[in-house]
Structure 1
């Protein structure tokens, strides 16, 4: 069995700077790393599915690389819409996948871990002022994905933007623009066990091309659950979380863990039936 922890949407700023002037994302990231290291010592790798920083600053990437180096297992990092791919690549040269460029202009890479092929896709769109927040895989990366899937065993795909409409209007407006082309690639392969992503800062489950997809909450703030077009874009300080994905025999089971603690566990009495 292969076990992967997932963090997403760190939104780090340079040390000493609060994200959006109010959120201590650095503290949340440290707490999340500590929680995973203490609770899940058996993981085989960590996936960080985008928005490593909030504004693409070099000092923020250097801080992120230092913090993520506290994991004793491989850390697979991909960019999100808030990231600067060139700056991210420079800071993460020592991390898996950044020593080579599989697709020009895209930070996508592939890894074999515990009998599972992890395919990390880059959905970020480059812009000089980081004003583009929609996602795009692009034809070249889709061709690379198609070829990679054709020669792999069980596959876990990691990406930032969910490849489906989530029902939150203001997030769907900055969703993945070539989701249909992506679904067509998926439909040609039967070895993909799960797609994991972030971007929406919420737990969301769906499927694309017959493949189960799971988006997980952010490390710090979340996006308001607004399932109507009238609610304006907003964030909420709901509990920070991470994902744990277990893959065995071509089957995946996924869990959400919460970073913070909510009191000591209450154990079941040995003489009482175990119920929840």
Structure 2
């Protein structure tokens, strides 16, 4: 069994609100009866991408005695992210019997995403073999029917789809950015978007003029991979 806690969009800054919400999630994880095998953090870790914010993030998550799998989001800054020891921006980690390909899908200075050709080539080579693999990045390569979110998704997704379809060992695609627990499919495999810690997306069938709910509790996803089967559950804290 491989059990992963999937945390996204912490947007940690220097204020008390973000620290309280992130600490609430970490306290919950620290108190679990069964320790997770790793915590996957799919971007927008810091709100402004400063060294102080990353130091604060490391201090809070450092209480968890488990591997931390970081990747950057559009609010993160590449140089500061790497300098804080959270990188490299593209890397592969083996957790239990599963491979996690951590991919930078960001475009510096922009909210939407796009995976560079060189990174796609790296991903293609990384996925070779028969090890069960999870492809992880920040911006989802799909639309979800929310105006604001769909405008800042990952573009050029047909190139990514071609890579994933070449590798039947890919179990699922895991991402963040949309601040909402969402499950769909992409390239023939499940695609799971983690809920946001800082806020929750509002959909047009809830409020046609709404964007985000700042009062909803922070939440996370759990991915349990056992016997070749993936089960994902969501938890509000």
In structure 1, the residue corresponding to 2:127 is in which secondary structure? helix
Q: Check whether the contact 1:195–1:213 (CA below 8 A) recurs between aligned residues.
A: yes
1:123 is the counterpart of 2:105? yes
- Deviation, 1:151, is 2.9
1:55 CA displacement = 1.4
| CA distance in 1: counterparts of 2:18 and 2:216, whole angstroms | 13
Q: Is 1:197 matched with 2:179?
A: no
Distance in 1 of aligned mates of 2:207 and 2:151: 11
For the residues of structure 1 that align with 2:177 and 2:34, how far apart are their CA atoms?
Answer: 26
1-structure distance, mates of 2:33, 2:178: 25
Deviations for 1:96-142, whole angstroms, at most 9, x for unmatched residues?
A: xx3xx5xxxxx111011111001111111113xxxx10011111111
- In the aligned structure 1, how far is the partner of 2:194 from the partner of 2:33? 17
Residue in 1 aligned with 2:187? 209
Matched, 1:61 2:50: no
Q: Does 1:74 align with 2:56?
A: no
Tell me how far apart the structure 2 counterparts of residues 37 and 144 of structure 1 sit (CA, whole Å).
34
- 1:221 Cα offset (Å): 1.2
Which region of structure 1 is more displaced relative to structure 2, 165-174 or 26-35?
165-174
Q: 1:38 aligns with which of 10, 31, 37?
A: 31
Q: Which runs of 4+ in 1 moved over 6 A?
A: none
TM-score by length of 2: 0.94
- Say whether 1:181 aligns with 2:159: yes
State the Cα distance separating 1:149 from its structure 2 match: 0.8
Q: Is the 8 A contact 1:191 1:250 kept in 2?
A: no
What runs of 5+ residues in structure 2 fail to find an aligned partner? Answer: none
**Contact between 2:202 and 2:210, CA under 8 Å: does it hold in 1?**
no
TM-score w.r.t. length of structure 1? 0.81
Would you say the 8 A contact 1:169–1:229 is kept in 2?
A: no
Are 1:141 and 2:102 matched, yes or no? no
Give the SS at the match of 2:183.
Answer: strand
| Structure 1 residue ranges without an equivalent (≥5) | 19-23, 102-106, 260-276
Contact 1:220/1:237, CA 8 A, preserved across alignment: no
SS in 2 for 1:39: coil
| Cα separation, partners in 2 of 1:4 and 1:59, compared to 1, 3 Å | same
Q: CA RMSD in A?
A: 1.8
